[in-house]
């Protein structure tokens, strides 16, 4: 299926040839944010110089239409010469050495640099890898790679709260779109051969083979041939890139998907796409949809790619992309007034480990030691928080503490959980729950009780499946789940209220509630913190209230974690310690075990052992040898 190109133009004012070179999308909110001559319409409050085709903000920023025309004339000359790299020119000499090397290896990167007004925004810095410290840059103008062939330019925009995020790709050549249409016509005769491919990699190899059969490299002469299409080396490379990107990937969104620093991709309707970046925060992508019809076509293709087609009757889809990222689609103007919208929440192929979370400041070593003891003793745990607070990430991370010999059954609407244990049955719902063919969370949870699991992990409890989960806890099955609630009080209110309706006297079956939140640190930077870990003691009918102990809490003024329940944890002393064979005064030794485990985790971290699966192997081996039980 072809998810692109969307033919969403990336345009320079009054320089359409150069603009069409950058096919990945129209650049927004930057000095390049113009419109094609044939489509020039001022934005609200703007004036436009008809001769130059330059919106007001651009003209004000660069000294008027005349200056822009002169600059565009200079750029046009560079493009007319195919922007051949000449080490003697000032622009090349002004580049950092590593960016010079990248331009030598990737001519399309050099052509992109020739197209941007470096006199006005400055020469971009080049970073082979991003670090957290870059978030403190006041002026962000930099380029970094996201794959072997694609780069990202964080383009400064001093007039907007969000800088621009521009993809630099080999397909940014003005002749490629027309060539791709001709290639697609000839490719139709070969499409049946793709059915012989066993997997995506084999299909990609066949597509490249077809392109080599269809295209003939001819650098000097352009001539039409019936059997082959004459192209240059650069065009053939761009076609191969575009073929895989659009037929195998997600079209113009593919560089965003490949960027490990992107957390969320949001399209709110007709207009730009917005991003949440792990280092640079809120950005706007160099892609926009200019009409509801164009957006609808893309959304339909996206939903078909993930195997959950949207329709007028079923306009809402919640599913996952091939890389595990979660996607939510709302189709049509009847339910989304700005046009169809979609949100992609990205998840890495390898989950973050609890040591990764310690490195990010989400928890500390003591908290990890405490959770390893309680989970190892079979305590029931909910991870609660607001939307996008990191609930699933934390739940994934602490599954490494589950006994490696245990059988685990997970139940989800959308498959997001990652459990390292080999004895893991992963079950997902089917359908919308409104017909006989549907399989709901309630159905799967009821079936799981017959599968004799040691642990049941529920992706998220929202409704009647909550009652079954608490029944499972009462019958001795350890349960873990995520839950939408911003505090321990709100969690209990939701559990005991409609539609979950857990009897108040059942609540103490849930022994631990971890509250995680997205917060602002003292320096203003965003972060995720476990704000509290709470032991639920039970319901006091005499005063009609619930009793709980705050074991750990986060101090926002110091960004440190406190352990107020040290030497005062009923769960540790009366349950966990007893299950570990301690009694009487010896139960207090359980706190020494927390300190010992915290020390072990710190040493592992210092040795650089943070990988999710590697950590599980180490803990499993320690359990086998009786060192970590």
Task: Summarize the confidence of residues 207-231 as an average pLDDT.
Answer: 77
Among 245-254, 369-378, 600-609, which stretch is predicted with the lowest mean pLDDT? 245-254
What is the distance between the alpha carbons of residues 579 and 586, in angstroms, rounded to a whole number?
Answer: 13
pLDDT at position 463: 86
Q: What percentage of the chain reaches a pLDDT higher than 90? A: 63
pLDDT at position 619: 96
Residue 220: how many other CB atoms lie within 10 Å: 6
- pLDDT of residue 51 exceeding 50, the answer is no
Structure tokens at 568: 């005062």
- pLDDT of residue 112 exceeding 90, the answer is yes
Task: Check: CB of residue 518 under 8 Å from CB of residue 526.
Answer: yes
- pLDDT of residue 165 exceeding 70, the answer is yes
pLDDT at position 437: 79
- pLDDT of residue 52 exceeding 50, the answer is no
Exposure string of 176-215, with b = 16+ CB inside 10 Å and e = fewer, is bbebbeebeebbeeeeeeeeeeeeeeebbebbeebbeebb
What are the tens digits of pLDDT across the range 538-587? 999 999 999 999 999 999 999 999 999 999 999 999 999 999 999 888 99
What is the distance between the alpha carbons of residues 303 and 318, in angstroms, rounded to a whole number?
Answer: 9
Highest mean pLDDT among 26-35, 46-55, 87-96, 337-346: 337-346
pTM, to two decimals: 0.76
Between the CA of residue 372 and those of 88, 375, 377, 379, 460, what are the distances in Å? 61, 5, 8, 10, 22
What are the tens digits of pLDDT across the range 63-106? 333 333 343 334 333 333 445 666 667 888 889 999 999 999 99
Q: What percentage of the chain reaches a pLDDT higher than 70? A: 84
- pLDDT of residue 54 exceeding 60, the answer is no
DSSP states along 130-179: --GGGGG-SS--EEEESSSS-EEEEE--TTSSSEEEEEE-TT--TTHHHH
CB neighbour class for 591 (10 Å; exposed up to 12, middle 13-18, buried from 19): buried
- Classify residue 556 as left (phi > 0), alpha (psi -120 to 50) or beta: alpha
- pLDDT of residue 11 exceeding 60, the answer is no
pLDDT at position 557: 94
Angle at 292 between CA 290 and CA 297, to 5 degrees: 100
Q: DSSP assignment, residue 190?
A: G
- pLDDT of residue 517 exceeding 50, the answer is yes
Task: Summarize the confidence of residues 122-140 as an average pLDDT.
Answer: 93
Among 300-309, 488-497, 561-570, which stretch is predicted with the lowest mean pLDDT? 300-309
Backbone angles phi, psi at 463, to 5 degrees: -140, -135
Instruction: Please name which of 613, 614, 550, 378 lies closest in space to residue 479, comparing C-alpha atoms.
Output: 378
Sorting pLDDT into bands at 50, 70 and 90, what band is 193? Answer: confident
pLDDT at position 43: 31
CB neighbour class for 316 (10 Å; exposed up to 12, middle 13-18, buried from 19): middle
pLDDT at position 219: 62
Give every CB contact of residue 517 below 8 A, 6+ residues apart in sequence.
385, 386, 389, 486, 528, 529, 531
Task: Summarize the confidence of residues 520-526 as an average pLDDT.
Answer: 87
Residue 239: how many other CB atoms lie within 10 Å: 25
Sorting pLDDT into bands at 50, 70 and 90, what band is 523? Answer: confident
What is the distance between the alpha carbons of residues 200 and 247, in angstroms, rounded to a whole number?
Answer: 10
- pLDDT of residue 266 exceeding 70, the answer is yes
More confident residue, 27 or 311: 311
Q: What is the mean pLDDT of the chain?
A: 84
What is the distance between the alpha carbons of residues 147 and 222, in angstroms, rounded to a whole number?
Answer: 32
Kindly give the interhelix angle for 465-474 and 441-448, rounded to the nearest 10 degrees. 10
Helix/strand/coil for 244 = helix
Sorting pLDDT into bands at 50, 70 and 90, what band is 299? Answer: very high
Task: Summarize the confidence of residues 224-252 as an average pLDDT.
Answer: 86
What is the distance between the alpha carbons of residues 366 and 562, in angstroms, rounded to a whole number?
Answer: 10
Q: Which residue bears the tokens 């709260």?
A: 161
pLDDT at position 31: 34
DSSP H helices, 487-584, are 488-496, 570-571, 577-579
Instruction: Please name which of 12, 24, 280 lies closest in space to residue 134, comparing C-alpha atoms.
Output: 280
Helix/strand/coil for 373 = helix
- pLDDT of residue 42 exceeding 60, the answer is no
Task: Check: CB of residue 457 under 8 Å from CB of residue 399.
Answer: yes
pLDDT at position 132: 86
Q: Which residue bears the tokens 């607001």?
A: 386
Dmax over Cα atoms in the chain, in whole Å? 92
Domains of the chain: 16-168 (no CATH), 176-253 (no CATH), 284-345 (3.30.450.370), 354-624 (3.40.50.300)
């Amino acid at each position: 299926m072809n998810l692109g190109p969307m033919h969403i133009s990336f345009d320079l004012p009054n320089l359409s040839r150069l603009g069409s070179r950058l096919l990945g999308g129209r650049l927004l909110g930057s000095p390049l944010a113009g419109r094609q001559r044939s489509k020039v319409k001022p934005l609200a409050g703007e004036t436009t110089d008809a001769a130059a085709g330059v919106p007001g903000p651009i003209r004000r920023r660069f000294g008027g239409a005349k200056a822009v025309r002169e600059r565009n004339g200079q750029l046009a000359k560079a493009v007319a010469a195919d922007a051949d790299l000449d080490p003697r020119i000032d622009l090349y000499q002004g580049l950092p050495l590593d960016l010079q090397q990248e331009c030598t290896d990737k001519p399309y990167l050099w052509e992109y640099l020739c197209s941007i007004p470096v006199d006005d925004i400055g020469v971009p810095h080049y970073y082979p890898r991003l670090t957290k410290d870059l978030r403190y840059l006041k002026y962000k103008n930099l380029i970094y790679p996201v794959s072997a062939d694609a780069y990202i330019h964080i383009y400064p925009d001093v007039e907007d709260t969000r800088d621009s995020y521009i993809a630099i790709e080999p397909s940014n050549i003005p002749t490629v779109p027309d060539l791709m249409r001709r290639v697609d016509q000839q490719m139709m005769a070969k499409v049946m051969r793709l059915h012989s491919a066993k997997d995506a990699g084999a299909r990609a190899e066949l597509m490249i083979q077809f392109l080599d059969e269809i295209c003939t490299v001819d650098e000097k002469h352009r001539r039409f041939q019936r059997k082959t299409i004459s192209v240059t080396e650069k065009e053939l490379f761009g076609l191969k890139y575009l073929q895989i990107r659009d037929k195998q990937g997600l079209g113009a969104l593919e560089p965003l998907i490949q960027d490990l620093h992107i957390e969320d991709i949001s399209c709110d309707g007709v207009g730009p796409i917005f991003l949440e970046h792990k280092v640079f925060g809120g950005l706007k992508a160099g892609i926009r949809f200019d009409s509801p019809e164009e957006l609808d076509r893309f959304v339909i293709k996206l939903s078909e790619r993930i195997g959950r087609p949207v329709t007028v009757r079923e306009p809402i889809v919640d599913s996952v992309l091939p890389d595990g990222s979660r996607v939510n689609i709302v189709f049509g103007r009847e339910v989304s007034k700005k046009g169809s919208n979609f949100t992609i929440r990205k998840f890495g192929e390898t989950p973050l480990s609890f040591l990764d979370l310690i490195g990010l400041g989400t928890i500390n070593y003591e908290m990890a030691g405490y959770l390893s003891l309680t989970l190892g003793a079979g305590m029931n745990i909910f991870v609660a928080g607001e939307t996008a607070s990191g609930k699933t990430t934390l739940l994934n991370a602490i599954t490494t503490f589950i006994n490696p010999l245990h059988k685990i059954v997970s139940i989800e609407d959308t498959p997001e959980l990652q459990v390292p244990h080999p004895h893991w049955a992963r079950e997902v719902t089917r359908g919308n729950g409104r017909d006989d063919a549907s399989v709901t969370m309630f159905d799967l949870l009821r079936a799981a009780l017959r599968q004799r699991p040691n642990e049941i992990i529920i992706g998220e409890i929202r409704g009647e499946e909550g009652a079954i989960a608490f029944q499972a806890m009462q019958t001795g099955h350890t349960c873990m789940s995520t839950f939408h609630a911003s505090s321990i009080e709100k969690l209990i209110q939701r559990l005991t209220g409609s539609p979950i309706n857990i009897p108040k006297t059942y609540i103490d079956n849930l022994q631990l509630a971890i509250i995680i939140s997205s917060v602002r640190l003292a320096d203003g930077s965003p972060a995720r913190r476990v704000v509290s870990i709470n032991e639920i003691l039970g319901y006091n009918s005499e005063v009609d209230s619930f009793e709980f102990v705050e074991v750990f809490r986060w101090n926002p003024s110091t960004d440190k974690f406190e352990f107020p329940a040290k030497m005062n944890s009923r769960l540790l002393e009366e349950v966990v310690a007893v299950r570990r064979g301690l009694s009487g005064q010896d139960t207090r030794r359980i706190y020494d075990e927390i300190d010992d485990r915290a020390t072990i985790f710190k040493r592992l971290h210092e040795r650089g052992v943070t990988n999710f699966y590697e950590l599980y192997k180490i803990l499993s081996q320690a359990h086998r040898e009786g060192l970590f039980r």
